[in-house]
């Protein structure tokens, strides 16, 4: 499946955020949120280690900034773009925020909640769900994560 070029461009912005996270000793995961027009309204990067925050995931930070920017907790027409498949916490936050879609890069075979281990974002038993597009720039998104774990540093 050929993904729209805008998804790749957005993923590159998320990769920029991931690079900053790595500089603080955090897992190199980055995320952005775009509004319906494609404008970036939220950015985030992992900051668990830097801030000693167990909820310091890139997706949570990006969703929080987007909600502040837009002045609402309902991000109905927004897209969450993240370099790693969201975990259960981040998928739940995306659903609660009512994002229209989640676009991610690398699959997370250990804790992914967008189709690999769980499929929380598309679970029809839940009252909320969203479109999921996975594997966007997968190789570029996986590389910094593989390097991070090869060095034996902390987990997500």
Tokens of residue 97, six digits: 């925020």
Residues 6+ apart with CB under 8 A from 56: 26, 46, 47, 48, 49, 50
The question of whether 138 is a catalytic residue gets the answer no
Closest to 61 (Cα-Cα) out of 37, 33, 36, 35: 33
Give the residue ranges of DSSP H helices in 24-137.
48-51, 58-70, 88-97
**Residue ranges at the known binding site:** 57, 87, 90
Catalytic member of 59, 85, 138, 140: 59
Closest CA to 58 of 88, 83, 95: 83
Q: What is the pLDDT of residues 88-114, one digit of tens each?
A: 999 999 999 999 999 999 999 999 999
> What confidence tens digit (pLDDT) does each residue in 35-67 have?
999 999 999 999 999 999 999 999 999 999 999
Feature table: binding site for Zn(2+): 57, 87, 90
């Amino acid at each position: 499946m050929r993904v729209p070029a805008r998804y790749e461009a957005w993923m590159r912005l998320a990769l920029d955020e991931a690079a900053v996270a790595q500089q603080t000793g955090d897992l190199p995961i980055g995320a952005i949120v775009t509004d319906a027009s494609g404008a970036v309204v939220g950015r985030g990067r992992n900051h668990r280690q830097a801030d000693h925050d167990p909820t310091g995931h890139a997706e949570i930070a990006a969703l929080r900034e987007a909600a502040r920017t837009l002045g609402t907790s309902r991000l109905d027409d927004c897209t969450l773009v993240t370099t790693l498949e969201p975990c259960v916490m981040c998928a739940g936050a995306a659903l609660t925020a009512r994002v229209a879609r989640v676009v991610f890069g690398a699959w997370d075979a250990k804790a992914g909640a967008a189709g690999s281990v769980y499929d929380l974002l598309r679970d029809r038993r839940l009252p909320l769900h969203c479109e999921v597009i996975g594997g966007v720039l997968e190789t570029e998104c996986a590389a910094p994560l593989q390097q991070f774990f090869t060095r034996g540093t902390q987990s997500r």
